[in-house]
Amino acid sequence: MKNPNKKPRTNNLKQPSMSSGKVAVGVLAGLAVGAIAGILFAPEKGSKTRKNLVSKGEDYLDDMKDKFDVFLETVTEKFEKTHEEAEELLAKGKAKYEQAKKELNRVSA
């Protein structure tokens, strides 16, 4: 007779699972290998392939420079705006301090 309180045995071995990060890295690596293989086995001459690679590299470099310039301009604008706001706040604080100092001198006199 079976004991109803006894739990069935389970397999304690966990099944391996791939994280999405590992899958993404695998896909990117596969794409890179495929691109390199495509370039190496391309029907064009090596000199033309090299020119194409240099041209693409220059295009990517120009694009990165443009994006960096936009980023730098945005950061500079935000810094200048924050600097101006800080100077205004400081001026208001000094004005209030001077006003409070005058009031205190007037009351104590």
Q: Check residue 8 and give its pLDDT.
A: 57
Q: Check residue 16 and give its pLDDT.
A: 52
User: What total of structural domains would you count in the chain?
Assistant: 1
Per residue in 30-45, pLDDT (tens digit) is: 888 887 777 777 777 7
Where the chain has pLDDT below 50, the residues are none
Q: Check residue 55 and give its pLDDT.
A: 85
In a domain, 97, yes or no: yes
In a domain, 23, yes or no: no
* pTM for this entry: 0.44
In a domain, 80, yes or no: yes
In a domain, 25, yes or no: no
Q: Check residue 96 and give its pLDDT.
A: 95
Q: Positive or negative, the Cα torsion across 85, 89, 95, 98?
A: negative
Cα–Cα distance between 87 and 89 in angstroms, integer? 5
